[in-house]
Amino acid sequence: MLRFTLRRAVLMVFMLLGLLLITFTISHIAPSDPAALAAGPDANVAMIERYRVEYGLDRPLYEQFAIYLQRLLTGNWGKSIHTTRQVWDDLVSYFPNTVELVAFSILIAVALGVPLGVIAAVNQNRATDHIIRILTVSGVAMPMFWLGLMAQLYFALHLGWFPLGGRIEMMTDPPEAITHLLLVDSLLRGQFGTFAEGLHHIVLPSVALCLPALASIIRVNRAEMLETLKQDYIVNARAHGLSTFRIVALYALKNAMLPTMAMIGLRFGWMLGGTVLVETVFDWPGIGLYAVQAAISSDFEPIMGATIVLGFFFMMTNFVIDLIYGILDPRVRTQV
Amino acid sequence: MNELIKMGLAAGVMAACFVTASVPADAFERRDGEKILVSAQRQAVPTMDPSVKYDASIRTMQQAMYDGLLKYVDTPPRIVPWLAESFDVSADGLTYTFHLVKNAKFHNGDPVDAEAVRWSFERTLTLGKGPAWMLNTFLKAENIKVVDPSTVSFTLDRPFAPFTSFVPWWYIMNPKQVMANEVDGDLGQKWLVENEAGSGPFKLARVEQGTLYELSRVDDYWRGHQGKLGGIIYKLIRESSAQRAALMRGEADLVTGLSPDEFDQVAKAKGIVTSTQPALTAFGIKFNTQGKLTSDLNLRKAVAYAFDYEGLVKIYNGRAVLQTSPFTDAILGKIDVPGMPRKDMAKAKEYLAKSQHPNGGIELEYVYVQGLEEERLMGLILIDSLKDLNITVKMVPLTWANMVARGSKVETSPDMIAIFATPVSIDPDAVAIQYHPSSQGAYYGVHYLDDPELTKMIEDARFTTEWEKREPIYAAIQKRIVDLQPEIFGMMRERRIAYRDWVKGYAYSPVRMTEEVDFYPLYIE
């Protein structure tokens, strides 16, 4: 297990390097000129040149990349040419918000998806199964953006059950940072009112964000469950007169969960990088918006910073899922 | 199963808590008993440094915290004395002497004196960023002189009539405060990103990047305050529909980014004040006048006469006015140019017959900003309009960055490109210069127009100081630009303003950018 972990860790470093190189190349293939954009629409040539020199954009590409890596190793993440803010400060303030949003979404998706998948499988081809199927198909098909807007209009504007957007109320001061995760920090600081506010604000965006993941989890779990329920040992268990609940919840679900776990891991990674639409609708101060704005303005250092963080967390999630796989399925452990 | 029921009950209780916790807001926010105005805007304010950057969002914050020597107010816009109570111009038009008010103070109590003014201008010129371009070609830092503590003079390299039209956008900073926070000779750039050193009506209270910026009232502001507003929250709400919802719920008192349809909806709602105001912004479809096809003046004229101008206005639900000159209405010296092209298919065909492609059969490229629905609709109008000339249109959506990059070189600049341009001042030079060869490559200079006669007139007018002499030159300039048809002259979209009826004092001036708000006169009743 230790060797497996180490090998994966070394591989991850190389994967990150590769990711950086690809992102760097792609962001430089785009024809736009970051210095001209940063200098503003009316700037004259000398002013644009000043930006180019200040941010090292006048150097050859390989040199820019080398300098970037060198600085990164010393802990300097650079600064945005567009906003002049330090990339690290931005990442620290935006990324934790996205992590909370995605984690909450996955929580909802798993809490609802796994039982619904099981129910659909147990009731295969009956009305319940069909209703759940309609839900999953619409979950995959409905654009998140539209869904978010509709949820906002109905639940926030019309019914007034939830806030329109944002992380907490305007007048509330966020808790002093410990982990930078608002929900966690407010609990650690004993600000339970802020915690409740944070929770209240996270519901709508995370529901809008979770639907595609929820749909996938239901579908995968249902398919796996159906497969598992046909296995000999299940038939055997039935023959022994065990209750359906016990068979399904204890024996079948554990095995059916393996592919579902992989799906959850993948989804978590995807969602980390795919929150921009929900963040826009609900004004969630997350990294999705930050990364997209950086990409639109060809703001190279924030693009790289966001890529590293998102890439790293994507790889970490897969890594953790692999470990959990090992725990759930002893065969994986022995193979390694 | 019992567990399930318990869980269900717990969930129900939690949901009930949420419901009771979220009574819809129907009045303005308060802090320590004072009224706080919430302005919902779409764009973040990444930096507040007056020497480094300006755009609609940044300037909204800057002008709340800083003062300039002069200020733009009203419709039509006029320049009024601000930190300078008066100024004189020398007979040769080279030296401007500003006399400062005596009672202005920075937020830390330091007086606003001539040295602070000199230093602030010098800082912006030295950094060479943001507004520096407005003055750096004819003003050197060493020619700004402190005459006495309340008098400062600027000597220009050559007479330049638009000088005072730029001065309102140069804000005065407290040199002592800024330099106390200097790091590695950066003239306080790092510090001023999220701090301020101004003398304006509000001071910075809180910055939550990506969420909101809070200002609090400066009690002893040297010009005083109209109403008793405790402060202002600039809140980021990026979606038009979310802005509408916030306004309806009273969570925002003023919103700036409603789409035409959302605006129509809130206009009908009770308790909301809406108005549309003329803007300085012009929309045009610029031709590349040195392009393979569009270098042909007759072809450009044919397209301009075939275009459906009424369609443009319809896109904005009627809230737009067609341009009658390359200059928008609030620009000084604007005339209605006779013979401004309007849809006239007979004329269009006549011009096409004289062009190098008398039977059409060509394709023109139309580049616009990806995701901007209005510009996409304009493309459809173009397709429809040019069908009768047997000209097809290829619509190419690009990100703003890539669009600007394509327009920056004459070889890659597309045949037609959709451009909104807001001049920074009401001086006619601010528009005329867009048709000078020095503007080529900038987003408003993608027409690559190079007409020696026009260029000479633009230069003559900007370096002449007497308005009586400048005015006729600008009339001739407007006619000449229309003759050359470097673009399909489009429309002036009206600005859509919406706020709750308890908001008072809203003052509009078309010289501000589309989502820029002057917070100073606002208060809540």
3-class SS letters over B35-93: EEEEEEECCCCCCCCCCCCCCHHHHHHHHHHCCECEEEECCCCEEEECCEEEEEECCCC
Residue A327: how many CB atoms within 10 A of its CB? 10
- What per-residue confidence (pLDDT) applies to B392? 95
- What does the alpha-carbon distance between residue A199 and residue B253 come to, in Å, rounded to a whole number? 25
B136 Cβ neighbours under 8 A, 6+ residues apart: A44, B125, B128
* Tokens encoding B361: 């059969």
DSSP state of B369: E
* Tokens encoding B302: 């044919």
Query: Taking CB atoms and an 8 Å limit, are B129 and A39 in contact across chains?
Result: yes
Overall size of chain A counted in residues: 336
Query: Taking CB atoms and an 8 Å limit, are A84 and B193 in contact across chains?
Result: yes
Nearest to A164 among B29, B249, B404 (CB): B249
Is the CB of residue A87 less than 8 Å from the CB of residue A97? no
Residues of A within 8 A of B209 (CB-CB) are: 85, 90, 93, 285
B20 Cβ neighbours under 8 A, 6+ residues apart: none
Q: How many CA atoms lie within 13 A of B445 on its CB side?
A: 21
Strand partners for B284: B419, B489
Q: Is B201 helix (H, G, I), strand (E, B) or coil?
A: coil
Exposure class string for B373-410: b at 16+ Cβ within 10 A, else e: ebbbbbbebbbebbeebebebebbbbbbbbbbbbbbee
Query: Taking CB atoms and an 8 Å limit, are B46 and A157 in contact across chains?
Result: no
Exposed, middle or buried by CB within 10 Å (0-12, 13-18, 19+), for B79? buried
Is the CB of residue A202 less than 8 Å from the CB of residue A101? yes
Is the CB of residue B389 less than 8 Å from the CB of residue B360? yes
Nearest to A36 among B133, B136, B404 (CB): B404
The DSSP bridge pattern shows strands B487-493 and B320-322 to be: antiparallel
- What does the alpha-carbon distance between residue B401 and residue B413 come to, in Å, rounded to a whole number? 13
- What per-residue confidence (pLDDT) applies to A229? 86
Residue B352: how many CB atoms within 10 A of its CB? 27
Query: Taking CB atoms and an 8 Å limit, are B21 and A200 in contact across chains?
Result: yes
Residues of A within 8 A of B408 (CB-CB) are: 33, 36
Query: Taking CB atoms and an 8 Å limit, are B245 and A156 in contact across chains?
Result: yes
Q: Which of A82, A119, A283, A292 to mutate to probe the B interface, most B CBs <10 Å? A: A283
Of B198, B35, B167, nearest in space to B105 by CA: B198
Exposure class string for A57-85: b at 16+ Cβ within 10 A, else e: beeeeeebbeebeeebeeeebbbbbbbbb
The percent helix, strand, coil of chain B (3-state, each to 5) is 35, 25, 40
- What does the alpha-carbon distance between residue B300 and residue A6 come to, in Å, rounded to a whole number? 67
Of B77, B492, B100, B97, nearest in space to B319 by CA: B492
Residues of B within 8 A of A90 (CB-CB) are: 209
Is the CB of residue B513 less than 8 Å from the CB of residue B422? yes
Of A200, A180, A201, A183, nearest in space to A191 by CA: A183
Nearest to A165 among B49, B242, B401 (CB): B242
* Tokens encoding A291: 């990364």
Query: Taking CB atoms and an 8 Å limit, are B211 and A46 in contact across chains?
Result: no
Residues of B within 8 A of A283 (CB-CB) are: 211, 236-239, 242
Strand partners for B254: B39, B499
The DSSP bridge pattern shows strands B362-369 and B416-421 to be: parallel
Q: Which residues of chain A have pLDDT under 50?
A: 336
- What does the alpha-carbon distance between residue B252 and residue B243 come to, in Å, rounded to a whole number? 8
* Tokens encoding B481: 């630009």
A:B CB pairs within 8 Å: 143
Minimal CA separation from A42 to chain B, in Å: 7
- What per-residue confidence (pLDDT) applies to A333? 60
pLDDT tens, per residue, chain B with 525 residues: 344 444 444 444 444 444 434 434 456 777 778 899 999 999 999 899 999 999 999 999 999 999 999 999 988 889 999 999 999 999 998 999 999 999 999 999 999 999 999 999 999 999 999 999 999 888 999 999 999 999 999 999 998 888 999 999 999 999 999 999 999 999 999 999 999 999 999 999 999 888 999 999 999 999 999 888 999 999 999 888 899 999 998 889 999 989 888 999 999 999 999 988 888 889 999 999 999 999 999 999 999 999 999 999 998 888 899 999 999 988 999 999 999 999 999 999 999 999 999 999 999 999 999 988 889 999 999 999 999 999 999 999 998 888 988 998 999 999 999 999 888 898 999 999 999 998 998 889 999 999 999 999 999 998 888 899 999 999 999 999 999 999 999 999 888 889 999 999 999 998 998 889 999 999 998
Residues of B within 8 A of A192 (CB-CB) are: none
Is the CB of residue B366 less than 8 Å from the CB of residue B379? yes
Residue A92: how many CB atoms within 10 A of its CB? 14
Q: Given CB atoms, is A40 within the 8 Å cutoff of chain B?
A: yes
Q: Which of A27, A29, A32, A89 to mutate to probe the B interface, most B CBs <10 Å? A: A32
Q: Is A209 helix (H, G, I), strand (E, B) or coil?
A: helix
- What per-residue confidence (pLDDT) applies to A335? 55
Query: Taking CB atoms and an 8 Å limit, are A84 and B52 in contact across chains?
Result: yes
Is the CB of residue B238 less than 8 Å from the CB of residue B225? no
- What per-residue confidence (pLDDT) applies to B3? 47
Of A322, A76, A292, nearest in space to B44 by CA: A292
Nearest to A84 among B29, B47, B238 (CB): B47
Give the end-to-end CA distance of chain A in Å, rounded to a whole number. Answer: 7
Of B277, B332, B329, B281, nearest in space to B508 by CA: B277
* Tokens encoding B443: 């987003």
Q: Is A41 helix (H, G, I), strand (E, B) or coil?
A: coil
Query: Taking CB atoms and an 8 Å limit, are A31 and B405 in contact across chains?
Result: yes
- What per-residue confidence (pLDDT) applies to A246? 84
Nearest CA in chain B to A86: B190
Query: Taking CB atoms and an 8 Å limit, are B401 and A82 in contact across chains?
Result: no
H or E segment and range at residue B229: strand B229-236
- What does the alpha-carbon distance between residue A87 and residue A97 come to, in Å, rounded to a whole number? 16
Q: Is A208 helix (H, G, I), strand (E, B) or coil?
A: helix
Q: Which of B3, B4, B22 to mutate to probe the A interface, most A CBs <10 Å? A: B22
The DSSP bridge pattern shows strands B229-236 and B212-217 to be: antiparallel
* Tokens encoding B31: 């802090």
Is the CB of residue A208 less than 8 Å from the CB of residue A150? no
Of B264, B261, B224, B237, nearest in space to B103 by CA: B224
